[in-house]
Chains A and B, each alone.
Chain A
Amino acid sequence: MSIQSCVTIINEWDIVAARQLGRNVAKELGFGTVDQARITTAISELARNIYLYAGKGQICIDKLYEDGKAGLRINAADNGPGISDIRQVMEDGFSTSGGLGAGLPGVKRLMDQFEIESSPGNGTQIKATKWLR
């Protein structure tokens, strides 16, 4: 079962809106302050990627209920140029060396599950989930 709400990312202010949405949902689900901050940092990172590299996209937040566990899933999707070498962007030190922030490996660390689908011309779809402990 999942309940979804979304924010369209076009400009930098939308990043704040996406963070706010994520924080509200995280609070509702009962995440502690540290996990709330981790989730919003992950959202920031994904929304920034959309804003910087794709120009336009969407961040959706799902509440998940599975096997008696509750969780929050971030869905980031865009129709931007896509990524040709996913292994490279998932490598530590690749995006951060240019001072671009946590990068996708950072998002993966902040969350419990991480899935990415992307290819040149088909945009990028990322799903990142954190479970309530």
Chain B
Amino acid sequence: MDFREMMESKYRELLENYIKEQSEQALYAGQKFSRKTIEQKISPEEIVSLHKSLLIEMYPDVPEKVINSFDILLEVMIGYGLAYREHQSLRHKQEELRSEMEIAANVQQTLLGTKVPVINGLDIGAISVPAKHMNGDYYHFVHDENNCISVAIADVIGKGIPAALCMSMIKYSMDSLPENRMGPSSILENLNRVVEQNVDPSMFITMFYGMYDPATNILSYASAGHEPGIYYNAEKKEFTELSARGLLLGVEKRTKYKEYKKEILPGDMVILMSDGVTECRTDEGFIERETLLGYINKYIHLSAQEIVNRIFKELEKLQHFQLRDDFTLIILKRDV
């Protein structure tokens, strides 16, 4: 017996039971029946039609007026049936898009992947979590032949797919920079030209570029409008802003970037972040920088990777597990 025939006899039974005795149990059976019919993609107009024909058959004395009224109900239900089927098809399409996005996010991770360098004397921790599937933040480490460690952290204004596409370009232009030793300011100047020429004028990128030389313990850095980093002075137990001025990438072709230097002493830390960290919003508004510094202090005894992981967990909780912006946090900590 196919489902339609079964449906007819089942519906007849339901109807009979309910008309005999208006019990909650009979109604509950009706609800269960609808689950089956939805599963079998039976449209609402078919149910109305079935109802009408069974009524005529089972109760020949039902007034014609009542019987005819079902024609109107049937006509109205056709529209609902169509809307329902459209909804199903859109849901299916959404599912497809979602899995496509997941694949894209994996591809992005492979494309933009970077290894955190392991080097004597410097402890490095990094975390980057996208708000949606695709990440508009980016960080990159280079451990060059002079044993210098370079770190780049960038944020595209905007998020989601457009930002992610833009980041892939940045990554490849960084990879294709000449091998000979370039300082942070000339790297930013180079990237600025690439972004200015290739990216939509409405899209801007901020970037912080730092280069640490373990031989001298000097960090050279430059910034293209990026969220200021934080410097921790271990001796004074004091946090100060790692300020650096510079225009965003992609605004003006001939932008020059100033290079800054900072000596990193044992126990000192450099904390770099995207605005997803500082613009982390709670019910009371943006978090204060003090809140962030508080968390750093709380976990300061841990390894750099542990610190960034714990801070992310704290801020994630603070925002009720809903990230509004991509979140990237990097800590460089000179061993004592």
Answer yes or no: B49 CB below 8 A from chain A CBs: yes
Asked if A109 is at the interface of the complex by the 8 Å CB criterion, the answer is: yes
Q: Determine how close the nearest CB of chain A comes to the CB of B85; give it in whole angstroms.
A: 6
Number of A-B contacts (CB under 8 A): 40
Contacts of B82 in A (CB 8 A): 41, 102, 106, 109-110
Query: What CA separation (Å) do A101 and B79 show in the bound complex?
Result: 8
A112 interfacial by beta-carbon distance below 8 Å? no
Chain A residues whose CB sits within 8 angstroms of the CB of B83 once the complex forms: 96
Interface string of B161-204 (1 = CB under 8 A from A): 00000000000000000000000000000000000000000000
Which of B52, B71, B78, B93 has the most chain A CB atoms closer than 10 A to its own CB? B78
- Interface residue ranges of A83-115 to B (CB < 8 Å): 92-93, 96, 101-102, 105-106, 109-110
Residue contact A96 to B86, C-beta cutoff 8 Å: yes
Rounded to whole Å, the gap between the CB of B179 and the closest CB of chain A is 48
Which label, helix, strand, loop or mixed, suits the secondary structure of the A interface?
helix
Selected contact of A34 from candidates B49, B90, B93, CB within 8 Å: B49
Q: Are B86 and A92 in contact (CB under 8 A)?
A: yes
Which residues from B are CB-within-8-Å of A33? 49, 52, 71, 74
The reply to whether the CB of A37 lies closer than 8 angstroms to some CB of chain B is yes
Contact bitstring B42-55, A, C-beta under 8 A = 1, else 0: 00011001001000
Residue A38 CB within 8 A of the other chain: yes
- For chain B, residues 87 to 104, give those with C-beta under 8 angstroms from any C-beta of chain A: 89-90, 93
A30 is an interface residue with CB less than 8 A from chain B: no
Contacts of B93 in A (CB 8 A): 92
Which of B49, B52, B85, B90 is in CB contact (< 8 Å) with A109? B85
Could you tell me which residues of chain B, from 203 to 250, have a CB within 8 Å of some CB in chain A?
none
Asked whether A92 lies within 8 Å of B90 as measured between CB atoms, the reply is: yes
State the B residues within 8 Å of A (CB).
45-46, 49, 52, 71, 74-75, 78-79, 82-83, 85-86, 89-90, 93
